[in-house]
Amino acid sequence: MNWKRITSSSLFLPLLALFALLLFNVIFVDGFLSIQMTEDGRLYGRLIDILNRSSSLIVLSLGMTFVIATSGIDISVGAVVAISAAVVCTLIGGRGDGVAEHPMALAILAAVAIGVLCGIWNGFLVARLKIQAVVATLILMTAGRGIAQLLTAGQIITVYYKPFSYISGTIPGNVLPTNIFIAAAMVLLVGFIMKKTSIGLFVQAVGINATASKYAGISVSLVLFVVYAFSGFCAGVSGLIESSLIRAADANNAGLNMEMDAILAVALGGTLLSGGKFYIGGSVIGAITIQTLTTTMYALGIASDQLPVIKAIAVVVLCLIQSKKCQALVASWKENRHGGSAGKTVEKA
């Protein structure tokens, strides 16, 4: 009875996948679980790495979850990450003596604001002009990297200003990298809002049937607008984390293909790409699973060019598990087998 309740929980399958992966690591990777304390008082180990590196994807997949729940999609987030990274790094400046040209708080605010602005642009195209989400966000996806290149003048801007590295690094005196807290705070905030307001219900309603929602009195275009703006906001924050990780803005590579990882994280989390019901917790677990996969590949010494193939296999398997047809097939196969063995026992008797 209790077991059934656990297995039917929306988080069961994503968690199962993550645990299977972790178990695999524990068996095959030496010292996978070991966490040490460094001399300057930071925690150090593979598990910390996974959390540290997945935090930007977690933030990104939060925004993506809502977009997908409205049966939309936002493929521009990777490029927006690059823009946000370019903004924060150009504002702080790449001075070798480690002095910031503009206050860091201002740079951070500007980077996030640019992210929101990009989101608003997407929202305008989708909600107002009724352009299909893939096409609308494709515009920024292709143009965004160009904008980032323009901002950095085609160069990789390295920031030597020390506090900038604290965003994805550890603030002295703390034990964990700051970006883990940023991601956790955003997840908690979103969870809180979902619990206390009916925004989640509106998003879901729009995703299931926009026309019906409209007749039910929901402002569909407002919901879409907010959802895309939030996705932009998340991409802005993600850009901060990404650029702080390498302390530089690399317009060519920052956030490259991250939109696909974010969509994958959402899908792994059990949210259907057709929209409707969505699972924030599932997306977070999905994001961590993807990073764990990458880390596993490196730990095992598999070349990263093979990683996409393994990711693809994981996606296929998970999509199969989620499909109704497949579940029905498995159920009927089980029944047959039961029926068959029952028949045999009868024969024997």
CB of 318 to another protein, least distance (A): 24
How many residues belong to the site for another protein (CB under 8 A)?
33
Q: Does 45 bind another protein (CB under 8 A)?
A: yes
Q: Indicate which single residue of 23, 31, 130, 329 sits in contact with another protein (rule: CB under 8 A).
A: 31
Nearest residue to 271 (alpha-carbon basis) of 210, 228, 207: 207
Q: Which is nearer to another protein, 52 or 70 (CB)?
A: 52
Q: Indicate which single residue of 6, 7, 9, 38 sits in contact with another protein (rule: CB under 8 A).
A: 38
**Exposed / middle / buried, residue 207 (Cβ in 10 Å: 0-12, 13-18, 19+):** buried
> Contacts with another protein in 47-76 (CB under 8 A)?
49, 53
CB of 103 to another protein, least distance (A): 23
Do residues 241 and 182 touch, judged by C-beta distance below 8 A? yes
d(CA 255, CA 252) in angstroms, rounded, equals 9
Q: Indicate which single residue of 1, 27, 105, 303 sits in contact with another protein (rule: CB under 8 A).
A: 303
Q: Which is nearer to another protein, 213 or 295 (CB)?
A: 295
CB of 295 to another protein, least distance (A): 7
> Which range in 129-137, 241-249, 321-329, 339-347 contacts another protein by CB under 8 A?
241-249
In the block, which residue shows the tokens 């949210």? 271
CB of 46 to another protein, least distance (A): 5
> Contacts with another protein in 111-130 (CB under 8 A)?
none
- Cβ partners under 8 Å of residue 334, min gap 6: none
As given in the structure block, the two tokens for residue 265 are: 């994280």
> Which range in 140-148, 207-215, 238-246, 335-343 contacts another protein by CB under 8 A?
238-246
CB of 102 to another protein, least distance (A): 21
Q: What is the DSSP letter of 148?
A: H
Do residues 205 and 216 touch, judged by C-beta distance below 8 A? yes
Q: Indicate which single residue of 55, 83, 178, 247 sits in contact with another protein (rule: CB under 8 A).
A: 247
d(CA 115, CA 84) in angstroms, rounded, equals 6
Give the start-end residues of each E strand in the chain: 36-37, 43-44, 157-158, 248-249
Q: Does 242 bind another protein (CB under 8 A)?
A: yes
Q: Indicate which single residue of 30, 129, 196, 325 sits in contact with another protein (rule: CB under 8 A).
A: 30
Task: Name the 3-class secondary structure at 34.
Answer: coil
Nearest residue to 57 (alpha-carbon basis) of 295, 225, 273, 229: 295
> Contacts with another protein in 166-195 (CB under 8 A)?
169
Helix axes 199-208, 46-69, angle to 10 degrees: 60
Site mask for another protein (CB under 8 A), range 127-166, x = bound: ---------------------------xxx-x--------
d(CA 308, CA 290) in angstroms, rounded, equals 11
Q: Does 39 bind another protein (CB under 8 A)?
A: yes
Q: Does 43 bind another protein (CB under 8 A)?
A: no
Query: Residue-wise over 208-221: b if at least 16 C-beta within 10 A, else e?
Result: bebeebeeeebebb
Can you give the binding site for another protein, defined by CB under 8 A?
30-31, 38-40, 44-46, 49, 53, 96, 154-156, 158, 169, 242, 245-248, 250, 252-254, 294-295, 298-299, 301, 303-305
